[in-house]
Amino acid sequence: MLLKSWDRPALRTGAERSLLLSALLLPLSAAATVDLGFTMTLSYLLGIVAVVLGAPSVIRGALRLPSTLVAVAGLVLLVYASGVVIGSDLGLSDQIARSRFRDVVYLVDLCLGMALVALIVDIVARGRVAIMLAASLCAGATAVAGYAIYQWFALHYGWPAGSVNNALNSDGVTRGALYQGAGILGWERVRGTFKEPLFLASHLVIALPLTYAIARRSSGRRRTVWRVAAGTIATALMLTASSLAVGALFVATLAVCCVWAVRRGAIRRSAVLGATTALVLLLAPVVFVDPSVLSGATGRSKEDLRLTSANRISAWSGATTVWSQRPVLGFGPGQSSIRLSYRPDLGPGVDAPLALGSAQGLWAASLVDVGLLGFSVWLAFFGAAAAAVYRALAREPNDLLIACAISGCAAVVLGNMSADRLDIRTWFALGLALAAACLVSQRMAGDGDEDPDEGADRRPASRGHGQRAAGCRITD
């Protein structure tokens, strides 16, 4: 009864609009933020509003997802909630105010991410704002890509607004611009409105396949606009000189296209794609250990590439050492940053305060935070999500599903190689991939809600939904 009274058209519309605006403002990761002991972004706040207003849709979206995936997601939440109760209470509150209540923040962040996935699945399945959600994400990425291109010149020539960030940098102490290293032509790498070039590149990698798919489904001037947007995103991605992000996109594209080729019955093509994917995965560890071979392609020096690789390997080594002290249950959500805290190098003679560390990847952070049990349930969660998308690709690999699958796969790979938890943009990418997969399953089953295209055609064009408003189709 409560859900029925909650599920009103005005609240559903508010949830949809909040979700669209959240996707649009995802690039404001380190700009226009508020420091509440942790960095509060506009997209995060709007995501909370969308989930609260669309609570009935969150529940319906969870019911639309495969039961195995929902069960594993519940286990992930249970493990992290248990970690809050039984984990270590070690904090650095006297030295780092940002270390307080990290366990609660991590748990809320996890709940929000999974709720957003369910909300996206339900809204898309009901034929509401489906293509507009992807378009909003891509429009925001295009805007930050345009700024990043300007930033590349601004940093080199000293133009104004070379940095507009107001959040703390990755060292957790300083604000404003920090030198990001040399990239293309020896000029400084761009980071846009993110803390680091890798985070900007991660967002662009998520948006690029979606932008290309929207361009393919558009016509006339809209197609030209989206093609220009895709070119802008690709150019900014090149200026980040992030080999890790480009590599994740390349591997994800190979893997998804291999599934597509198998579905099409293209034996030779699937064999070539499969062999290439296997070869890339075999060579990836070698290139990661000695990334100097990428120096010419990225414009970065061999020393910078080796230092980046060494820092990540050092973080992983430190994380596994801490994990070995409490291997089964871990120390509690958010403890990986505290246990790996350090003093940043701010220059000679500067007494730098203690800063939170980074495990440089969800896999390493989960071992420290919730132990082997948490690491295992994350593997099961990603496996269940991949299985759901794979089944949809095997049934009907349309171009939108392929683009969403590539974005989701690349986002998860990067989340396990850089951040200590899944960023909200990763949850958006996962939500879009699972929503596209659920659309295929729903259509193949021949039941459920109305077909999104048909619903869009029946709605007045002035409402801004579906084919007429977006200039493209939702499904094949």
One-letter identity of residue 471: G
Q: Say what the pLDDT of residue 238 is.
A: 95
Residue 346, C-beta contacts closer than 8 angstroms, at least 6 positions apart: 171, 173, 174, 352
Each residue's pLDDT tens digit, 369-416: 999 999 999 999 999 999 999 999 888 878 889 999 999 999 999 999
Each residue's pLDDT tens digit, 184-220: 888 999 999 999 999 999 999 999 999 999 999 899 9
Q: d(Cα 140, Cα 112) in Å, to the nearest integer? A: 21
Residue 34, C-beta contacts closer than 8 angstroms, at least 6 positions apart: 40
One-letter identity of residue 369: D
- At residue 355, the 3 state secondary structure works out as strand
Report which of 154, 236, 173 is spatially closest to residue 201, judged by C-alpha positions: 236
Q: At what angle do helices 55-64 and 42-53 cross, to 10 degrees?
A: 80
- Residue 293 scores a pLDDT above 80: no
Q: How confident is the model at residue 89 (pLDDT cuts 50, 70, 90)?
A: low
Q: Say what the pLDDT of residue 96 is.
A: 54
Q: Say what the pLDDT of residue 386 is.
A: 94
Q: d(Cα 13, Cα 30) in Å, to the nearest integer? A: 28
Q: How confident is the model at residue 355 (pLDDT cuts 50, 70, 90)?
A: confident
Provide the token pair at 444. Answer: 């193949």
DSSP state of 451: -
pLDDT more than 70, % of the chain: 85
Q: Is the model's pTM score more than 0.85?
A: yes
Q: d(Cα 357, Cα 39) in Å, to the nearest integer? A: 16
Query: b/e for 303-322, b at 16 or more Cβ within 10 A?
Result: ebbeebbeebeebbebbeeb
CB 346 within 8 Å of CB 174 = yes
Residue 432, C-beta contacts closer than 8 angstroms, at least 6 positions apart: 120, 124, 133, 134, 137, 210, 404, 407, 408
Q: How big is the chain, counted in residues?
A: 476
One-letter identity of residue 402: I
One-letter identity of residue 105: V
- Residue 463 scores a pLDDT above 50: no
Provide the token pair at 459. Answer: 């709605």
CB 251 within 8 Å of CB 281 = yes
* Segment (H or E) for 123: helix 102-125
Each residue's pLDDT tens digit, 434-452: 999 998 877 766 654 443 4
Q: What is the sign, positive or negative, of the torsion defined by CA atoms of 225, 237, 364, 282?
A: positive
Q: Say what the pLDDT of residue 302 is.
A: 77
Query: b/e for 132-161, b at 16 or more Cβ within 10 A?
Result: bbbbbbbbbbbbbbbbbbbbbebbeeeeee
Q: Say what the pLDDT of residue 351 is.
A: 63
